[in-house]
Structure 1
Amino acid sequence: MTKAGTIRVGIGGWTYEPWRGGTFYPEGLPHKRELEHAAAAMTAIEVNGTYYSSFKPATFANWAKAVPDGFVFTLKASRYVTNRKLLAGAGESIARFVDQGIVELGDRLGPILWQFMATKKFDADDFGAFLKLLPASHAGVGLRHAVQVRHDSFRDPAFVDMARAAGVAIVNAWSDDYPGIGDVSGDFVYARFENAMSAEEQGFPAATHDRFADWARDWASGAQAGDLPLVGTPIDRKPRDVFAFMINGAKERAPAAAMALIDRVGRP
């Protein structure tokens, strides 16, 4: 039997005031040790700060040193790439993003998330040109890419086909705020569970966590999963790594939600 892909589960960032004082971080934990604590509890973190600004190579290197073997950071790509009218002209901004020192993360570098505004509509020619700009590697380090689109016009088989041809993952985003696309495209799955509830101690009811765990295991084994509608043709069945994040929604519940899912799917 072919081995299933690796499932990693995490949160968005690690600096958030409501997580301090015993909610997630122990009382009195120095802020400089918060990444270390979060990385011990999670198996991945999605870095949001890289969407707003660039960082020095030494910063990425220090992040890599602070986390255990097997831990992975995914990076949200620069808004200067995704928040533009014509994506085909983003080549220079893409180059700046990947050349800022992200390769210093080494084997801790996971997929790059290219997130688009909910107002961004699907233009087949322009989006196809953008996908061709995404580099397969940089400085000898392989790069993986995921795109999160949030406009209904992307419910187009042509979009799914071009993402698959490029080897780029379509983000499976479970949200109340915009329509999602459930098709699997790249050789990994990127899921964002964005509608956690403050009233639930672990963000979601236990039955929902059970369902998320089933999805993650199905994706890892190569099956199509999830409740989001499909747009394209069925996928080829092959094991895929899975990156699942509890993010946005009731953010104060995100660590508990992620740990609840890790309890169900295990650690790499």
Structure 2
Amino acid sequence: MPAPHRPRVLIGISGWTYAPWRGDFYPAGLAHRKELEYASEHVTSIEINGTFYAMQKPSSFTKWREETPDEFVFSIKGGRYVTHIKRLVGVESALANFFATGVLTLGDKLGPFLWQLPPNLEFDAQKVADFCALLPRTVTAAVTLAQSRDDKLAEDRVLLPDASARPLRHCVEARHASFASDDAVELLRRNDVAFVVADTAGKYPYVETATADFMYARLHGDQELYASGYTDAALDRWAEKIADWTSTGRDVYVYFDNDVKGYAPSDAMKLIERVGR
């Protein structure tokens, strides 16, 4: 009989390259090339957000994998070309290119893929369902999809692992009020895609309903978007939420994105203390 699943809790930051953190979170004089290594010693996961702005080099994923501890996990923010420019429509080639660039070679350090939707993208059941159907759910499926990449991606920007049945997870952060609906929640549940719990100081929809076998939270600031830190009482509440989520057998990923004033790493470490590694 297989051992019961023991839920994992991964807590960290969204990105790690922020000038205001230098001399604050990062010790004065720390070489910029050492910042990921340093951050990965203080949090248990990092959300790679550079993938949102541009496709990364295969060598970058290799470097990031080698610079972090064995149990470390990266979540990956999907490209804005897919979500904001193509707006989820006609994205087969774009997804193929995205998965071909080396992200899959993170191996056991690869966490969920985050698809953040633009604030002006309303819920359209057919559009969202079609997009969910395109998302690969195993490494093998992602490698197969990557084979259909187009010629816009040079061969020296392609790096694929061996095919495997390792599952891939996906989550959606919706920013239009129409997504805060039973229909949207049920559609994501049917497709086993997590609805991101987004704390945005009330600006964007807040939904806590579980729609997949894991929970994914992004904490952008509960008082001021991207800028306010979390009080001890607020962190205590998030620790309680995490305990509730893991009690259902779900893995939990939490990322602080309140980076403007450098609160993110400090808040992440405080929450890790409350939850335990």
TM-score, length of structure 2 as denominator length: 0.85
Residue 165 (1) aligns with residue 190 (2): yes
1:155 equivalent to 2:180? Answer yes
8 Å contact from structure 2 (residues 180, 205) kept in 1: no
Match of 2:265 in 1: 255
CA distance in 2, matches of 1:217, 1:86: 35
Which of structure 1's runs of 4+ aligned residues deviate more than 3 A?
1-4, 248-251
* Cα distance, 1:162–1:76 mapped onto 2, change above 3 Å: same
Q: How does 1:158-237 map to 2 (within 5 A)?
A: 158-176=183-201, 177-195=203-221, 203-222=229-248
- Does 2:100 match 1:99? yes
Q: 3-state DSSP class of the match of 2:41?
A: helix
* Gap regions ≥5 residues in structure 2: 144-163
2:30 alignment partner in structure 1: 29
Structure 1: any 5+ residue segments left out of the alignment? 223-238
The whole-number CA distance in structure 1 between the counterparts of 2:223 and 2:182 is 33
| Corresponding position of 2:136 | 135
Secondary structure, aligned partner of 1:186: coil
Contact 2:75 2:110 in 1 (8 A): yes
What does the per-residue CA deviation read over 1:48-102, in whole Å, with 9 as the maximum and x for residues that have no partner?
1000101122210110110001110111000011114652411111111111110
- The residue number in structure 2 matching 1:109 is 110
**Separation in structure 2 between the aligned mates of residue 153 and residue 45 of structure 1, nearest angstrom:** 29
Shift of 1:6: 0.8
Q: Counterpart amino acid of 1:26?
A: P
- Quickly say closer, same or farther: Cα 1:17–1:196, change in 2 above 3 A: farther
Q: Within 2, Cα distance between the matches of 1:88 and 1:128? A: 11
CA 1:251–1:120 in structure 2 vs 1: closer, same or farther (change >3 Å)? farther
The number of residue pairs the alignment matches comes to 247
Instruction: Give the conservation status (yes or no) of the 8 Å contact 1:4–1:221.
Output: no
Which letter maps to 1:147? V
Deviates more, 1:118-127 or 1:157-166: 157-166
Aligned to 1:74: 75
How big is the shift at 1:103? 1.2
* 3-state SS of 2:39 partner: helix
CA shift for structure 1 position 220: 1.1
The alignment-based identity, stated in percent, is 43
- The 2-side partners of 1:249 and 1:56 are apart by 25
CA RMSD of aligned residues (A): 1.8
Match of 1:245 in 2: 255
| Counterpart for residue 266 of structure 1 | 276
| 8 Å Cα contact 1:88/1:127 also seen in 2 | no
The verdict on how the C-alpha distance between 1:40 and 1:86 changes in structure 2, with shifts beyond 3 A counting, is closer
Q: Give the match for residue 6 of structure 1.
A: 8
